[in-house]
Amino acid sequence: MKRKEGESAREKLKRALDLEGLSYLGDLLELRGTHELDARGCEGILLYSETCIKLSMKKYVLNIEGEGLFCSSYLAYTVRVRGEIASLRFEKREDKK
C-alpha cells in the first residue's frame, strides 16, 4: 500500500488494518433517530433550556435546537441530550478563532 503524502508509518498501518475508526479520539456526535444525541468531547454547557442547548466542544460550539430538551447524563466529557431534536448547528468558537 502506498503511503500518502504527510502520512506517518503509524497512520499508514492504521489505514491498512482499517483501525482508523477505533482509534479516533476526537469529538464524536452520535445521533439516534431524532430523540437522543451523545456528544463526546463536551467541555461545558453554555446554554441550557428546553428549546436550546449549547454545548462547548473542543473546536466549535454545538447548538441543539428542538423541544423538551434535557441532558439525561454526562460522563467523562460525554453528554447525552434527549428530547425532540429539530436541528444541529455548528458555530465556530470565538476564543478558538
Considering the complex, what minimum distance in angstroms separates the CB of residue 67 from another protein? 8
What is d(CA 53, CA 94) in angstroms, rounded to the nearest whole number? 18
H or E, element range at 13 = helix 9-16
Enter the C-alpha cell of residue 33. Answer: 433517530
Instruction: Return the number of the residue (42 or 85) whose C-beta is nearest another protein.
Output: 42
Site string for another protein, 52-81 (x = CB under 8 A): ----------------x-xx--xx-x-x--
By C-alpha distance, which of 27, 3, 26, 28 is closest to 14? 3
Residue 50 binds another protein (CB under 8 A):
yes
Considering the complex, what minimum distance in angstroms separates the CB of residue 77 from another protein? 8
